[in-house]
Amino acid sequence: MKKKLDLATTLGFVVALGSLVASIVLEHGSLMAYFNISAGLIVFGGSLGAGMIAFPMAVVKKLPKMIIMSLREPVQDPAAIVQQFVKLAERARKEGLLALEQEAPTILDPLIRKGIMLVVDGTDPEVVTQVMEIEIAAREARHETGINMLEALGGFAPTLGILGTVMGLIRILAHMSSASEMASSIAVAFTATLYGVGSANLFWLPLSTKLKRRSAAEGEIAALIVDGVAAIQAGDNPRIVQEKLAGYILPAKGKKAAKDAAAPAGAASPAKAGA
């Protein structure tokens, strides 16, 4: 699946962090005053440790990959997928389903390729649907586990921030006679809360929401593919295939797809897109 830089996520981080920095600068504050290693260890180290307790190590190891994924948006074009099924339907009606075996190597999306190969092999339609739905369900389960971990980290961070605040207050009470110790403890206390609430609401929870939205979008693409494969196996003509799948496309794209479907066969080849 092709991916491109997700400008919304990248700009979102820049705007959010930039706003915080700008507010500090406007109030003539010092950025270093908000930098505290002890508070960072409590919040970020504690959150990671809690995540390792709550989730298997195999899932925790994927955390960096999930963060990178949030910065790269998959290129999903339902109209191109519909057009691809229309072309497959045209060839199937002209040369038979077995002719689609020659098309399989050129299909980039693994789910479409698997469905077409099952159809070529003469698999029962119900079995074809079941096999594809099982693969989709497994993929969604993997996505859900990763999203749940991000949401959990978003819950752990503020709580650990409060824990850091309580620890700082304990140090304050233990060093009431030392002004320098009290100042240091107060800084740790309030910085921990800042780190906890900030990281949860500016990082972990937005990332989980972003990946949840993408998972839902991939689910819609997967449903389109299942219906497309079923239409090919049923022997529907290209026009019927296009009409059946048009509901998965936004209105503007739907008109373009319909126009492309009506174009001569020698026109530009359809783009291969994946879910």
Phi, psi of 3 (to 5 degrees): -135, 150
DSSP string covering 132-173 = HHHHHHHHHHHHHHHHHHHHHHHHHHHHHHHHHHHHHHHHHH
Question: Which pLDDT score is estimated for 38?
Answer: 87
Question: Which pLDDT score is estimated for 180?
Answer: 66
Q: pLDDT tens-digit profile of 169-178?
A: 887 887 776 6
Residue 205 has pLDDT above 80, yes or no: yes
Instruction: Kindly state the average pLDDT of the residues 111-132.
Output: 93
Domain boundaries, the chain: 35-261
Question: What's the chain's average pLDDT?
Answer: 85
Phi, psi of 192 (to 5 degrees): -60, -45
Between 255 and 124, the higher pLDDT residue: 124
- E strand or H helix that includes residue 109: none
